[in-house]
């Protein structure tokens, strides 16, 4: 997997650029996500069988944005 990657996320009828930065931490691989127009947040693999927000539950991010980021991370992991 690259040190970081960028992608275009499409959710709720809009497309926004995103930068995703993988980081190996003591409790597993985490991904810092920077999406224009939203606060920075971190995602990791969850028991739900997809990537989910680790910090920032209080940020009230749109669910469709979280799902779009999860799909983008899964696609990048499959390519490695």
- Predicted TM-score of the model (pTM): 0.89
Please tell me the predicted confidence (pLDDT) of residue 57: 67
Asked if 27 and 46 count as a contact pair (C-beta separation under 8 A), the reply is: no
Residue-by-residue pLDDT tens, the chain, 80 positions: 557 899 999 999 999 999 999 999 998 999 999 998 999 999 999 998 999 999 866 888 999 999 999 999 999 888 86
pLDDT attached to residue 79: 84
Q: Where exactly are the structural domains of the chain?
A: 5-79
């Amino acid at each position: 997997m690259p040190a970081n990657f960028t992608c275009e996320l499409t959710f709720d009828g809009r497309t926004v650029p995103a930068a995703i930065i993988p980081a190996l931490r003591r409790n597993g691989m985490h991904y810092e996500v920077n999406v224009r127009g939203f606060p920075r947040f971190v995602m990791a693999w969850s028991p739900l069988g997809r990537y989910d927000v680790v910090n920032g539950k209080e940020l009230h991010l749109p669910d469709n944005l979280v799902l779009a980021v999860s799909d983008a991370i899964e696609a990048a992991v499959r390519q490695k």
